[in-house]
Amino acid sequence: MTISIPDFSSTRVVVAGDVMLDRYLFGSTGRISPEAPVPVVHVQQSDNRPGGAGNVAVNLAALGVTTSLVGVVGKDEAARSLATILGERGIACAFAEAADRPTITKTRVQSRGQQLIRLDEEKAAAMPGDAVASALAGTLAGAGAVILSDYGKGALADVQAMIQACRDAGVPVLVDPKGSDFDKYRGASLITPNQSEFEAVAGVATSDEDLVARARAMMETLDLDALLVTRSEKGMLLVERGGEPLFLSTQAREVYDVTGAGDTVIASLAAAVASGQSLASAAALANLAAGLVVRKIGVATVTPGELSAALHQRGQGGRGLVDLDTLLALVAESHDRKERVIMTNGCFDVLHAGHVAYLEEAKSLGDRLIVAVNDDDSVRRLKGESRPVNALEDRMLVLAGLAAVDWVVPFSEDTPAHLIEAVLPDVLVKGGDYKPEDIAGAREVLQNGGEVRVLAFRDGHSSSRIIDRLRDE
C-alpha cells in the first residue's frame, strides 16, 4: 500500500482522557544510604513531560496538528507545570480542576541509565458529575477527530456521554481502551487495543482467521465501525465494517523501547483520519510511525519529516517536490538526526546518464541530497529561447524519481545564491570546472562551517548534444 503524508496544518484533533505529569530525576550514585540499604542519588537534572493523554496530545502537536486536550487535574503546582509545558507546544488545554485529588504525577528516579524507583501520586477515582464530558462537548466544533485516551484513572467515567456527543456532532471518535470492560466503549468509531488486551476480552485467537472472526464479533457486539489490533512485532490488524481485513507487517527494524508506542499509533491514526484519509491509509501511516517511535528511548514522538525520510528509505515516496518553507523544516529535522545534507543545482533539462552519475556521487558525500532546479524563465535566460525542452514540473518529477535525490526545490533567479544562503547545506556541490570560490552560495556555506566540492561531469554526456542529435534526425 502506498503511504502518503497529509498536510496536517489545517487539521484539528481533540484528546480527552487521563492526563499525567511524568517527572524525571537524573543523578549519580556513589554510595549506599546509612539509613537503609538503598543507593543515594545525587540529583543533577530534572525533566517534566506530559504523560498519559497528555503524551497523545504531544504526539499530535509534533505532527503539526492543531490539538486540544481535555482532562482532570488537581489544584496544585503539577497542574500548573503541565499546563505550561503543553501551552509551549501549542496545545489548548480544557482542564477540569478537582480539589479532592492531586494531578496524577509519576516521578522516576534514574541513575546510570537505570530506573531506581517510581513514585506515583494519584487518586484513581471517577470524576463526579459530567465536568469532563461537558468540557469535551465545548471543544468539538471544527474537530476532525476525537481521541479518548483511557488509563483507568477516572477521567473517562462518563465515556458513553462523550461517545454520544461525538456521534451527535458527526466527529469520528477513536478510543485507546483500558481494562477488560470494552462494553463501555459501545458506539465508538474505532478502538485500538493491543492483542493481549483484545484477547483478554474476546478470547485467545488460534490463527489469523480466528483473530479476524473475533474482531468482527466484537465490532458487532459493541456497534463499532472498525477495530485496530496492534500486534507488537507482528504489526497491526485493521478490520472495518463491510471491508476486507488489512494485515500490516511491522516497520521496526530495531526496537529499543515500546514506551508510548500506543500513544503514537492512535495520534497518527486520528491525525490522518481527520485529514481526510481512509482508515486503511491512516492505519498504514500509524504503522510506519510506530516503527519509528520504538527505535527511540523513552516516551517519544515522530514528525512529518521523519515519516517522509522513512518513506524515502523504503522507496515509497517521502521525497520529491517541496517549497522553501517545507525544505527548511526538513533540513532542520535532518540536522536534528545528525544527518549530513548535500545540495546541488542545475537546469537538468534533458536528464541523461551523466546527470545520474553526478547526482549519485553527490549523494555519496552525505545522507540527504537537495537538488535546486532553475525555473523555465531562468533556463531561457541562460540557454536561449528554445529551452527548456521540458517544463519545470516535468524536470522536477523526473529528478524526484531518482533514488539518490531526496528533495527537489525550484528557484527563479539566475543563480540559487539566496536559496543556498537560506538552506546552508553541510556540503555544496557543483559539477564542471568551477573554482570553489566562484560557486554561488559558496562563501556563506564555508562561513557556516560547511564544505564546497566540485565534481567532474562524465565525458560524452550533455543535454545540448542530445538535443542536437534529435534535431539532426
Pure H helices in 156-259: 159-169, 195-202, 208-222
SS (H, E, C) 338-367: CCCEEEEEECCCCCCHHHHHHHHHHHCCCC
Banded model confidence at residue 257, pLDDT cuts 50, 70, 90: very low
Q: HSE of 337 in the Cβ direction (CA atoms, 13 Å)?
A: 21
- Residue pLDDT, tens place only, 42-51: 999 999 999 9
Of the listed ranges 15-24, 299-308, 359-368, 441-450, the least confidently predicted one is: 299-308
Pure H helices in 384-441: 392-400, 417-423
Q: What is the pLDDT of residue 369?
A: 94
Which whole number is the average pLDDT over 122-130?
75
Q: What is the pLDDT of residue 461?
A: 54
d(CA 82, CA 79): 5
Selecting among 150, 158, 176, 263, the annotated active-site residue is: 263
> Does residue 444 have a pLDDT over 60?
yes
Banded model confidence at residue 316, pLDDT cuts 50, 70, 90: low
Q: What is the pLDDT of residue 311?
A: 74
433 a catalytic residue: no
**Region class of 318: left (phi > 0), else alpha (psi between -120 and 50), else beta:** left
Q: What is the pLDDT of residue 465?
A: 57
> Does residue 437 have a pLDDT over 90?
no
Residue 275: closest CA among 130, 464, 106, 65: 65
Residue 71: closest CA among 9, 144, 122, 115: 122
Beta strands in 376-466 (DSSP E): 407-411, 427-431, 451-455
Q: What is the pLDDT of residue 473?
A: 56
The larger pLDDT score, comparing residue 186 to residue 295, is at 186
The larger pLDDT score, comparing residue 462 to residue 78, is at 78
**H or E segment at 46?**
strand 39-52
Q: What percent of the chain has pLDDT over 70?
A: 90
Q: What is the pLDDT of residue 125?
A: 74
d(CA 107, CA 119): 5
Q: What is the pLDDT of residue 224?
A: 97
Of the listed ranges 58-67, 93-102, 207-216, 299-308, the least confidently predicted one is: 299-308
Q: What is the pLDDT of residue 263?
A: 92
Q: What is the pLDDT of residue 214?
A: 97
The larger pLDDT score, comparing residue 385 to residue 140, is at 140
Q: What is the pLDDT of residue 450?
A: 95
Banded model confidence at residue 463, pLDDT cuts 50, 70, 90: low
d(CA 390, CA 467): 11
Question: Mean pLDDT across the chain, nearest whole number?
Answer: 88
Banded model confidence at residue 462, pLDDT cuts 50, 70, 90: low
pTM for this structure?
0.74
